[in-house]
Amino acid sequence: MGFLTPLFLIGLAGLAVPILIHLTRQERGKPIRFPSLMFLQRIPFQETSKRRIRHWLLLIMRLAALTLLIAAFARPFVRGGMLASVGGPGPEEVVVLLDNSYSMEMGDHWEQAVAHARSVVGSLRPRDRASLIVFSETPRLVHRSIPDPARILATLDTLGTTSLATRLAPAVKLAATTLAASTLPRRRVVFVSDFQRTAWSPDPDATLPEGTVVENVVIEGAESENLALTDLELGRESAGRRDRITVRARLVNAGAAASDAEVTLAVDETDVETVAVHVDGGGAAAVEFAPFTVTAPFTRGEMRLAGTAAAGLEQDNSLSFVASPGGDLDVAVADALGPGDSNLYLRGALGIAEGAGFAATVTRSLPGQDALDGTEVVILNGGPFPGGTQGDRLRAFVEDGGGLLIALGERSSVPSVHQEFLPATVGPVSGTGGERRLGFLDYDHAIFEAFRGPRSGDFSQAVFYRTRTLTPTDGQVLARFDDGSAALVEGRRGTGRVLVWASGLDRFWNNLALQPVYLPFVHRVTRYLSRRGEVMPWHLAGSTVNLGSLAETAGSWEIPDGAVAMEPGGGSVPLDPARPLLQLDRR
């Protein structure tokens, strides 16, 4: 039992006041006028103190009344579970919340949980109604307010654990909704879980109806030894079109004793290497395999624990990934001045990259058809848009999936026949109004999303002295100057992309090339135009994947009919082109 306002209990000390008054109060005689004293006997008067209590029952009743009044102001309550066994005249609505997250697979936790759930359901009275909710990342209402316990008992035999983490707040909200719809006079919620420390996150909406009795059944057992593979990382080294992948991870020991384990790397279901790892109790050790060459797209790999080390939680004994060859990204820089100061910073930025980098070639004009066929991105650096057959070849290159970046300069011009191909109309040089800075960036776009957080890159330090006026037509404005004029406009042509930058990529018209954001900005723009987006090699269970963006990265604007998602265990999930979001809730 507890009290909501325990400070009122200080009033109990006041119960001693009437007792002290009763014991210390003195009685004095009262004079009475009488006409004759001849018939009265003279008796000496003596003052006495009340030194004893004669009416004990009356005193106790008065003190009890005061005690109950003080206790009422202190607002007593009974903690959840203490009244669960108290019978009542009316039936009861019982909601059983059963945790089936991946941690419940440890030892015999799941068997204990099911047994407790069966005990609760089996103790229901004839007029009671019960609901069953299983929960991990998200809750699922299996049975809603049914009077038949046998149905719930049969369902418990068919349930199992999942690969997802524990989240208590959504389960509480679903239980509250179920109880709110009940008309029964009594309500009870029974939580059956191991109550992971990370399972609860504050949520003001996760509250149960007033008067609901809560029982917590904590599932626990002896400490189990468990080794877990985590933090998978793929290191990539490219030499031309060949990619060498180095697989790294960490092996975490949740037990108290040191452990020796063997970890095996399999590529396309073929074991390629096994390494021995020693992990101290409560510690972690790095796991690294020798590099291997990726030759085919969507090469499937798996890292797994071998032998007796695979005891404990089955879900964290392996890590799966997908890798595809990429190699250096071929970039053609068309600059009428040739290699020199006008593209010095651009060449330097493209020459610095981790893993798969950029293979940049600077030419005075657009490359020929053979060279263009092996190019993924073309950058027109301060020069005109080519006319004639070269312009037609460049348009076809973009419409077939290539990327085009136009960095405008003094010599930039666009033939009228190709004007509609650009997402914005190029106007005259603007620079007489003084210095300008970037005032708006679309941080939801793939180019700028990496700069969203604090200390991730400050574009406001870049000063622009001269720019070309851009009037968007059918393009999307990704960046604007502080006067509202467009700085970067994107357009899509066929299956390719066109970006028009209102200033140069050198230090003559701005000082962006001298800012720390210049290098990642050039990298992200170039990779975005190549459609080699940053594809995650692996995802956590419980996350959601946008299949539409993956299809776009693979060169398609939509999910093909009949496409499936391959599961790490070898199964497949049919995909619906109309629903591009895939919830990863299977092993």
Amino acid letter, residue 509: W
Strands annotated E in 180-325: 186-193, 213-218, 227-239, 242-253, 259-267, 270-279, 284-288, 292-294, 299-306, 318-323
Asked if 464 contacts 430 with a C-beta cutoff of 8 angstroms, the reply is no
What average pLDDT does the structure give for the chain? 84
Q: Which two tokens stand for residue 184?
A: 């029964």
The CA distance from 379 to 513, in Å, is: 16
**Nearest CA-CA partner of 313 in 485, 483, 104, 489:** 104
Report the greatest alpha carbon distance in the chain: 152
Q: Which two tokens stand for residue 336?
A: 């009428």
Q: Which domains does the chain have, with CATH numbers?
A: 2-29+49-77 (no CATH), 92-218 (3.40.50.410), 227-323 (2.60.40.10), 329-530 (3.40.50.880), 544-583 (no CATH)
- Beta sheet of 358-363, edge-to-edge order: 358-363, 329-334, 377-381, 403-407, 496-501, 486-493, 476-481, 438-441
Q: What is residue 517's three-state secondary structure? A: coil
Q: The dihedral of CA 535, 499, 347, 503: what is its sign? A: negative
Task: Quote the pLDDT of residue 82.
Answer: 46
Residues of the chain below pLDDT 70: 1, 22-30, 34, 36-39, 43-52, 77-89, 221-224, 238-242, 307-312, 326-327, 354-356, 432-433, 532-538, 541-542, 548-558, 568-570, 585-587
**Nearest CA-CA partner of 80 in 200, 169, 187, 204:** 187
CA contacts within 13 A on the Cβ side of 351 = 8
Asked if 107 contacts 222 with a C-beta cutoff of 8 angstroms, the reply is yes
190 bridge partner residues: 96, 215
Task: Quote the pLDDT of residue 1.
Answer: 66
What contacts 298, CB < 8 A, 6 or more positions away?
Answer: 322, 324
**Nearest CA-CA partner of 330 in 372, 366, 278, 370:** 372
Query: CA-CA distances (angstroms) from residue 48 to 22, 23, 43, 56, 95?
Result: 13, 11, 15, 20, 68
* 211 torsion bin: left (phi>0), alpha (psi -120 to 50), beta (else): left
Task: Quote the pLDDT of residue 485.
Answer: 93
Place of tokens 């073309």: 378
Residues found in the chain: 587
User: How distant is the alpha carbon of residue 242 from its chain centre?
Assistant: 35
Q: List helix spans (H) across 403-474.
A: none
- The pair phi, psi for residue 468, each rounded to 5°, is -105, 140
Q: What is residue 418's three-state secondary structure? A: helix
Query: CA-CA distances (angstroms) from residue 338 to 258, 333, 335, 360, 509?
Result: 62, 9, 5, 13, 18
Is pTM beyond 0.85 here? no
